[in-house]
Amino acid sequence: MKILLVDDSPDARLLLHKILRDAGYRDCHSASSAHDAFNCLDMEHDGAGAKEIDLIVMDVRMPEIDGIEACRRIKAVEALRDTPIIMMTARSEPEVLRGAFDAGATDYIKKPIEEVELLARIKSALKLKKEIDARKNWEQELTKTISELDVAFHEAVTLQQFIPVCPACKKALADHTSQSALEAYLQTHPDAKFHYTVCSSCSTRKG
């Protein structure tokens, strides 16, 4: 799974890369600012590249656009809404953490980074992402199945509306269908369709 690391400090990015690489996470990408992260996520095209990233680990304190505002903008994009974001911060004030979670952060980790804690939180976030993806796939399959059932139902209804009628005597050929019943049916089903088949009586007379 692909992880995007966002931090304006080159040393911090190198440290994160090393920890994740040693833990077996080989597919990691870096961004040195919120703007770089937006480009990686292809936010100019409504997150068209979002499928490439499964988790974002982002520092709170960055120049121009801080991590909390960046998180808010990322979560505002429909295609990125379910992408987990772990915030990193050296600050522990309640208002900072509240701001991060209000912006849509999934979790946070304090700086300086503790390797065990970082890996545990990343593992948890990636598990959440897998569960979200599985739920989305299930919902898509369910929607597809419901759509197919709707089509099948409408086709069945359409077939039922094709009434066999003899072109010679103009009578319905369906079993147990009287002429009066046919007329009553047509009054309530003006869109009913017919297919013409010569009845046995008319066929015998022709013979």
Span 113-128, average pLDDT:
94
pLDDT at 27 over 70: yes
- CATH number for the region 3-143 comes to 3.40.50.2300
How distant, in Å, are the alpha carbons of 41, 93, 154 from that of 71? 12, 18, 46
Answer for the pair 173, 199: CB distance below 8 angstroms, yes or no: yes
pLDDT at 176: 43
pLDDT higher for 137 or 118? 118
Query: In which band, very low, low, confident or very high, does the pLDDT at 171 lie, cut at 50, 70 and 90?
Result: low
Of the chain, the percentage scoring pLDDT greater than 70 comes to 71
| Measured distance CA(172)–CA(182) in Å, rounded | 7
Please write the tens of the pLDDT for every residue from 57-94.
Answer: 999 999 999 999 999 999 999 989 999 999 999 887 88
pLDDT higher for 198 or 66? 66
Domain layout of the chain by residue ranges: 3-143, 161-206
Q: What is the mean pLDDT of the chain?
A: 82
pLDDT at 10 over 90: yes
β-strand partners of 86: 57, 107
pTM (two decimals): 0.68
| Measured distance CA(104)–CA(101) in Å, rounded | 5
pLDDT at 192: 60
pLDDT at 172: 60
